[in-house]
Amino acid sequence: MMTLHGVDVFLRTPSIPELPKEFGAFTLVLISNRGSRVYPPPVPEMELSDWQQCRYLSDDVVSDAQIDELVLHLTGLGWQWTKCQKLFKIDGDNAFSQPY
Amino acid sequence: MAHQVCLIRGDGVGPELVAGVEVIFKAAKVDIDWIDVEAGLKCVEAGKPIVPEETVAKIKEIGVGLKAPMTTPIGKGSVSPNVTLRKKLDLYACVRPVRSLPGIKTPFDGLDIVIFRENTEDLYTQIEYMATEHVAHSVKIISDSASEQICRAAFEYARANGRKKVVGVHKANIMKIGDGLFLKSFKKVAAEYPDIESWDNIVDNQCMQLVTKWKLYDILVMPNLYGDIVSDLAAGMMGGLGVAPGANYGKKCALFEAVHGSAPKYTGMNKVNPTALLLSATLMLDHLGEHEARVSIEGALEATLNKGIKTYDLGGDATTSGFSEAIASELK
């Protein structure tokens, strides 16, 4: 069974964004840049692109509306997202990869 | 003064190969202060990360490393130590020189090509999702900055090493956005090097041309996944992974490695060819400014092969240590 647990919000910003660590049921678990984790620290000494993958995740099953609220909240804070990808579990296993 | 070099002895046959290189370097009187650092399966078995932070920090501090093959544990959540090192050290350029070696018969006489593989992005960012229960989605990232960086490294290498041609390899006829950006970056950088002949090829055509017109090519530069595939194809043309060296360069450090795996089934059998690690180590000597030592060791390797002394993968019966000692004896 496929269940919804979070969202990767890809933000267009040149530096590692300061984002809310919690929002509703979600926790900001990581930010990655070109597949390398840059939050939580340490930040690898790498060339950063201006595309940040920001992962908000919940242990519980969440609704589409909760995802919409989160993304709207980030937009309200002034962040420009260019892509959002919902994060699912299938039969309890993460159906998404982890960055390095 | 001795050159300091971090040494990862690796998993599987790695330690045996390292021992062979040490014997040859000793015979060549190359003054290296090897600093052992940990990574690989042994770390995981000891409850540590596959590449401990202390290892990353030490390689950053020293600036140069030699790495024997390591094993990626099988199972959920396991990561490749090689990819981890490339990412944490920002080793953006994977350089794989392939050339004909005496005594190793292949259909590709006169092969002499250097492949530059972008090392930090493309599908290797491993950003993947199940979009539905039936559809997987992998994100391919190509940036102009990383593409320009690897193309510039290839053109700079051409200039520094007297090479005349650089070819950009892509699939921009199909992936017009991603590979299109790589191609645009290649053309932009190529324009800065009017003294170097350059053109671009589609990757499938490039593979065909590699095995039919290999003498036409000098330096190839390409995104990560194509580089992974084409460089192994080229290694096969050279005589196999047992003889193909590799180097990874970043802005602050360089890591030299045999590109084959740790061959765990041969562990302790004193059987595997040390040539790939040895030629990686001689690339390292060049990087350290020890050009004469590189030439003399590679000459000793060629003399050994010319005498018909070979390991099993090349049709011979020499052991790892026997082959290494034969090379060492050429240096004495």
* Rounded-to-integer distance, Cα B248 and Cα B318, Å: 30
Q: Which residues of B are catalytic?
A: 124, 171, 204, 228
Token code pair at residue B325:
């000692």
User: pTM to 2 decimals?
Assistant: 0.93
Task: Provide the number of structural domains found in chain B.
Answer: 2
CATH code of B268's domain: 3.40.718.10
CA of A76, closest CA in chain B: separation in Å? 26
CB contact under 8 A, A47 and B84: no
Q: Supply the pLDDT for residue A42.
A: 85
Q: Is B193 exposed, middle or buried (0-12, 13-18, 19+ CB in 10 A)?
A: middle
pLDDT, tens digit, 9 for 90 and up, residues B18-70: 999 999 999 999 999 999 999 998 899 899 999 999 999 999 999 999 999 99
Same domain, B142 and B92: no
Q: Supply the pLDDT for residue B75.
A: 66
- Test the B interface: residue of A2, A31, A36 with most B CBs within 10 Å: A36
Percent of chain B's residues with pLDDT above 70: 99
CB contact under 8 A, B130 and A85: no
Same domain, B82 and B135: no
Same domain, B228 and B260: no
Same domain, B174 and B275: no
Give the pLDDT band (50/70/90) at residue A100. Answer: confident
Q: Which domain holds residue B114?
A: 107-238
CA of B116, closest CA in chain A: separation in Å? 18
Q: Over 60: is that where the pLDDT of B5 sits?
A: yes
What is the sign, positive or negative, of the torsion defined by CA atoms of B186, B189, B192, B195? negative
DSSP class per residue in B30-50 = --EEEEE---SHHHHHTTS-S
CATH topology of domain A2-94: Alpha-Beta Plaits (3.30.70)
**B172 alpha-carbon distance from chain centroid:** 25
CA of B149, closest CA in chain A: separation in Å? 10
Same domain, B11 and B43: yes
Among B194, B222, B238, which residue terminates a domain?
B238
pLDDT, tens digit, 9 for 90 and up, residues B173-189: 999 999 999 999 999 99
CB contact under 8 A, B129 and A90: no
